[in-house]
């Protein structure tokens, strides 16, 4: 099925092209792969929440915020390849979670990422290798940051 039909059918609020916050590329194509820079849960260029998950932000909200960051990463890929239907599969995801001291639920935010990818691309192409990493701080006090690696169709 066409990925844009899936986005419409599942009523996914797909963002426009993200804007880099510095001197870097949103995504880089290398051979049959696209690597994204880390994307945070922004809407119209503004963080929709700030703070640590497990403190100011609940794990349930962290799940939703990680989904938004994932959509921004997909928009970054789209800005390079112009059509998300060119994606064969999502190969790797790294989820950085701005974690409160003692918080060990990073996997819940990471599940927001992979649940969305499976919804969009199916189990075979949307369930990547994954890392969920708790960190002390993220730029702008973002609650999470997501990086994707996608393999393109030949």
Domain map (residue ranges) of the chain: 3-152
For residues 66, 61, 23, 150, the Cα torsion angle rounded to the nearest 10 degrees is 0
By the 10 Å C-beta count (0-12 exposed, 13-18 middle, 19+ buried), 24 is classed as exposed
Please give the helix or strand (H or E) that residue 21 lies within, else none: none
Q: Backbone dihedral region of 11: left (phi > 0), alpha (psi from -120 to 50 degrees) or beta?
A: left
pLDDT grade for 150, boundaries at 50, 70 and 90: very high
Q: What pLDDT digit, counting tens, does each position of 14-62 carry?
A: 998 888 888 999 999 999 999 999 999 999 999 999 999 999 999 999 9
How far is the C-alpha of 115 from the C-alpha of 111, rounded, in Å? Answer: 6
CATH of 3-152, one of 3.50.50.60, 3.30.43.10, 3.30.1330.40, 3.30.70.260: 3.30.1330.40
């Amino acid at each position: 099925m066409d990925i844009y039909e899936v986005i419409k059918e599942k009523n996914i609020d797909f963002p426009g092209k993200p804007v880099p916050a510095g001197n870097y590329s949103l995504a880089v194509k290398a051979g049959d792969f696209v690597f994204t820079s880390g994307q945070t849960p922004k809407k119209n260029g503004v963080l929709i929440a700030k703070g640590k998950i497990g403190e100011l932000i609940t794990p349930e909200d962290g799940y939703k915020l990680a989904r938004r960051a994932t959509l921004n990463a997909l928009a970054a890929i789209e800005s390079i390849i112009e059509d998300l239907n060119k994606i064969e599969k999502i190969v790797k995801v790294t989820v950085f979670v701005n974690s409160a001291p003692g918080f060990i639920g990073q996997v819940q935010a990471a599940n927001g990422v992979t649940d969305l990818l499976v919804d969009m691309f199916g189990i075979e192409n949307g369930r990547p290798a994954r890392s969920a990493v708790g960190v002390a701080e993220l730029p702008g006090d973002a609650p999470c940051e997501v990086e994707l690696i996608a393999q393109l169709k030949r």
